[in-house]
Amino acid sequence: MIRDRALFAGDVSIDLTLTCARMPAPDEKVTVDTAVEAPGGVAANAAVACALAGTPSVLLVSTGDDGLGDRLVEQIRARGVEVFASVNTGSTCRVVIILEPHGEKRLLLHPGVSMFPSARQLAQVSLENVGWFHSAVYNISDAKIMIERCRDHQIPWSFDLEPSTFPAGIDTLADLIDGAAALFCNARAIETIGKGAVARLLSMGAASVVETLGAVGVRLHTKDDFRDVAAPAAARVKDTTGAGDCLAGWFISERLRGVGPEEALQTATAAATLSCQGLGAQSSYPTRADVTDPTAWLTQSSRPAL
């Protein structure tokens, strides 16, 4: 059996990215320079990135019954992702991203009811030809359903360790981390976990930790050693939103293509770097052709909104 499909489960949102010269003072109105509206969400972003890399990708999400969720699902499907969505009473997640000229960003998130799929979806989704599972664990008890299924079917899994998914400490994710093929951590997650974060995650049973280092690149940690993967030279960074999700999606795609972890991260880091050249997350993600020959991509001032 060829396990060439990637399965993603987690959040989906509508992202509104605004660029401005400066943040407003209290009770001041500042006119924004650019506004880009596009689908977002950690899991949804990674699924789109993986699909654009050429790997069959399946996404499990829940949306609100506000009509916005239907539009997001259709837009994500248009990027090549097979989406299974349940509808909850309430609003779909909304995120406002404010970018200043120096690249600093601030995010405002209204979770709504679209942060994680239902337990029923996770229990019933077909695992036929699934070779990798990836998520951001916004519901620990429901995520355990999928991890047990992955263990039973010997399917590798990975997580994006968003600090908001372990507010009571990283030990709350211990059962999910044990046996994970990869954990993706940015600087904020490392800081939240605390001293010796990487060693701690590896001691909890993770096979590897991918530590993202911004413009520098990434560091791949295993129990034996670590390897640095430098980010390629790029034009001026416009927006780093969703770059880590792009990295995760591409890494998973490369691994399912039979590429080793370090080489997979080299390609994934190149893709994530390209994604920072446009505004928004999914709206700025490159295809495999773009990563193979990035010249045309880098000469464009921005990517179109979906």
pLDDT for res 302: 43
Tokens 């046996």 -> residue: 179
Q: How far apart are CA 222 and CA 207, in angstroms?
A: 6
Backbone angles phi, psi at 62, to 5 degrees: -115, 150
Q: Is the pLDDT assigned to residue 296 strictly greater than 70?
A: no
Amino acid at residue number 237: V
Q: What is the DSSP letter of 10?
A: S
Q: Between 297 and 204, whose confidence is greater?
A: 204
What tokens were used for 223?
């129990």
The pLDDT of residue 300 is 52
pLDDT at position 303 over 50: no
* pLDDT confidence of residue 234: 65
Read off the pLDDT band of 277 (50, 70, 90).
confident
Q: What is the pLDDT of residues 52-66, one digit of tens each?
A: 999 999 999 999 999
Helix (H) or strand (E) run with residue 281 in it:
none
Whether pLDDT at 235 is above 90: no
Distance CA 170, CA 27 (A): 39
Collapse the DSSP code of 226 into the 3-class scheme (helix H, G, I; strand E, B; otherwise coil) and give the result.
strand
Alpha helices in 127-242 (DSSP H): 140-153, 174-177, 187-193, 197-203
Residue 304's pLDDT is what? 39
Summarize pLDDT for 237-255 with one digit per residue, the tens: 888 999 999 999 999 999 9
Show Cβ contacts of residue 220 under 8 Å, excluding neighbours closer than 6 positions: 208, 209, 210, 211, 226, 227, 228, 229, 261, 262, 265
Residue 210 identity (one-letter amino acid): V
Mean pLDDT of the region 168-188: 97
Q: What is the pLDDT of residue 54?
A: 97
pLDDT of 305 strictly over 70: no
| Model pLDDT for residues 135-159, shown as the tens digit of each residue | 999 999 999 999 999 999 999 999 9
Question: From 3.20.180.10, 3.40.50.10440, 1.20.1250.20, 3.40.1190.20, which CATH number describes the 5-292 domain?
Answer: 3.40.1190.20
Write down the domain spans for the chain: 5-292
pLDDT of 101 > 70? The answer is yes
State yes or no: pLDDT of 7 exceeds 80.
yes
Q: What is the pLDDT of residues 88-100, one digit of tens each?
A: 999 999 999 999 8
**Distance between CA 49 and CA 59 in Å, rounded?**
12
**DSSP string computed for 155-180:** --EEEE--GGG-TT-GGGGHHHHTT-
Q: What's the order of all strands across the beta sheet hosting 34-40?
A: 34-40, 13-19, 93-99, 105-110
Q: Residue 301: pLDDT band by 50, 70, 90 thresholds?
A: very low
* Percentage of the chain exceeding pLDDT 90: 85
Residue among 201, 240, 237 nearest 219 (CA)? 201
Mean pLDDT computed over every residue of the chain: 93
